[in-house]
Structure 1
């Protein structure tokens, strides 16, 4: 991480904020060069504050920061990308809150990680641009989950058996959340910490793990497969983080309220992922 001078400039995305004193705010931000920081925006809650509009949740801003003893002080802030849909659309508010909390959970203060910064910016840009109720939103969240797990050192092993290192066959294999990967049927027989994972579910997880977002964006996944992927990733994140993210309950309530069905690909539509039998 580069040394911070008495005054330094940085780009930042606001992950979390809390009120402090009569008019200040403490912001947890992610930056490309300094990692995650806690900064203070003095007077940001005053109606006359010039900085307040440039320090909104999920916003991408350019900051001038002064070093201080407890929290470095934001002296100037200019919006780079405001992502207005992430503060006006209820579904996107929930999804952006989840992304911010997820990144916050996987990063440590002061640890530079440019790849996570790039992933967050891409995710916020794509989420902001999606049409309301887009079927791509859950794909984006699951793709980000797997990319972030890889960048943080918790990538699940989805291609070779954890027990014998053999390449996994397109059959029902067995997942161990605690071990972070898959066992073949032979190796799983002697274990009690595994659960079956269908071949098509494993195929979707592999696809999300290894493809770029432009490729994932246009794929269609059968609803029951996507629900199973959602459940497995949710429980794997619980295992890794050892706590439940606060935004998950809100996001799940929104999904149950108005989530549109995800249909199989029709003629002329985006291609659906092939089944395990078709890809074998």
Structure 2
């Protein structure tokens, strides 16, 4: 299918790489055209008018003109620079994880306006929140739902009965929870505690405004991170590279789960 000759659109810069002497090849997420690749000619020159408007994570208004093989960015104006993501390595690492996750689950050229705005909100939240683990786990669950990989947390995948308030199992390959009767003896499944499952269900069911101030025990946060990242890696058939980098950054910065949550609520207060 022939590309539209000229596009004026909002974009979020997902990736960039050096291209030629002064250019960059960018992967952009757009609301109405999905992911597109485009050349930003001369953007590495300090005198370029596009310099500072097309950095990683930035949301910008751009004019794309169809070239021989790729779009060419002829104009760019910053809408939101998300400056905190460049000034704080921990926040930048969370932003990198959120972008890699979206990039991994979305093909080029497939529009999804909801995903575009989800990522924009995610970058704003990572820029401002001190509850970064909750922000990330909430984002993962809602992105997975949007791309068709919503994990089943309400009913047992083995007997289709409602999950009861007790420790369960999680089968990443099957895509959800197994009750103790169906999960016992199965291979390649993870145990999941009742409190961790309560939190995952609460995050999956609710908008960000209802979860942003939750305070959760570090053990539970670590558990749901392990379960959700395992599920993601099984669906992608690979691990996210940015997760290892985030782990190293958190260790270097001594950022524990206890330090990035606020004492506002408690996991035991979640409804099942």
**TM-score where L is the length of structure 2:** 0.94
Deviation readout 1:126-180 (Å, 9 max, x if unpaired): 11123xxx2x111101111111111111111000010111001011111111111
2:190 to 188, 195, 199: 195
Q: How does 1:39-188 map to 2 (within 5 A)?
A: 39-130=38-129, 134=130, 136-188=131-183
**Following the alignment from structure 2 to structure 1, what is the Cα–Cα distance between the partners of residues 184 and 82?**
49
**Following the alignment from structure 1 to structure 2, what is the Cα–Cα distance between the partners of residues 150 and 129?**
24
Are 1:262 and 2:258 an aligned pair? yes
Deviation readout 1:234-266 (Å, 9 max, x if unpaired): 111110111122211110012223214528x99
The answer to whether the Cα contact below 8 Å between 1:174 and 1:196 also exists between their aligned partners in 2 is yes
Are 1:225 and 2:220 an aligned pair? yes
How far 1:270 sits from its partner (Å)?
1.3
Q: Which residue of 2 aligns with 1:247?
A: 242
**TM-score where L is the length of structure 1:** 0.91
SS of 1:8 mapped into structure 2: strand
Q: Please, what is the CA RMSD of the aligned residues? A: 2.0
SS of 1:162 mapped into structure 2: coil
SS of 2:36 mapped into structure 1: strand
Gaps of 5+ in 2: none
The answer to whether the Cα contact below 8 Å between 1:200 and 1:275 also exists between their aligned partners in 2 is no
SS of 1:274 mapped into structure 2: helix
The answer to whether the Cα contact below 8 Å between 1:174 and 1:188 also exists between their aligned partners in 2 is yes
SS of 2:161 mapped into structure 1: coil
How far 1:10 sits from its partner (Å)?
0.6
**Following the alignment from structure 1 to structure 2, what is the Cα–Cα distance between the partners of residues 15 and 189?**
42
**Following the alignment from structure 1 to structure 2, what is the Cα–Cα distance between the partners of residues 233 and 242?**
14
**Following the alignment from structure 1 to structure 2, what is the Cα–Cα distance between the partners of residues 255 and 26?**
30
SS of 1:54 mapped into structure 2: coil
**Following the alignment from structure 1 to structure 2, what is the Cα–Cα distance between the partners of residues 86 and 10?**
23
Gaps of 5+ in 1: none
The answer to whether the Cα contact below 8 Å between 2:215 and 2:267 also exists between their aligned partners in 1 is yes
Q: Return closer, same or farther for 1:155/1:59 CA change in 2, 3 Å cut-off.
A: same
Q: Return closer, same or farther for 1:33/1:183 CA change in 2, 3 Å cut-off.
A: same
